[in-house]
Amino acid sequence: MIVLTDTVDASADRVLDLIARRFGGVVGLDPARVEIDREHGRLAYQGGWWYRGEYEVTEEAGRTRVTHRVFNVAGRGSRWAVPLANKFFIGFRDRTTAGFRELLREAGQSN
């Protein structure tokens, strides 16, 4: 549904740690699952009835590339409803992009 990618002046470990902290304390009514694969620089957060966000963090030419993908993982019978429902959540893409930019800004700050 959405793919965002950019680079930041921070180590891959720092970026992955920051993402893990952001999603490690998520509390909500729906069960959520966080999967972290540090060896391959990946983190996934899945929650609610349709949302899965995946981050891929790789070192590239002295910088770190961060790619964020949002997937519709609703079941076959309700998959069609996600784009319709998101039309009512006006600004979803803008909020997702703003959150991604904030993540990169925070990751690029010195320790």
pLDDT (tens, 9 = 90+) of the chain, 111 residues, equals 899 999 999 999 999 999 988 887 655 556 678 899 999 999 999 887 788 999 999 999 889 999 999 998 887 776 666 666 665 567 788 989 999 999 999 999 854
CA–CA gap between residue 77 and residue 36 (Å, rounded): 29
Burial class (CB in 10 A: 0-12, 13-18, 19+), 83: exposed
Rounded CA-CA distance 54/45 in Å is 6
Nearest to 36 by CA among 49, 60, 53, 51: 53
Residues with Cβ within 8 Å of 16's Cβ and at least 6 positions away in sequence, in order, are 36, 38, 41, 43, 55, 57
Q: The pTM is what?
A: 0.83
Q: Among residues 22, 74, 13, which one has the least CA distance to residue 44?
A: 22
| Domains in the chain: ranges and CATH | 2-106 (3.30.530.20)
- Rounded-to-integer distance, Cα 51 and Cα 90, Å: 16
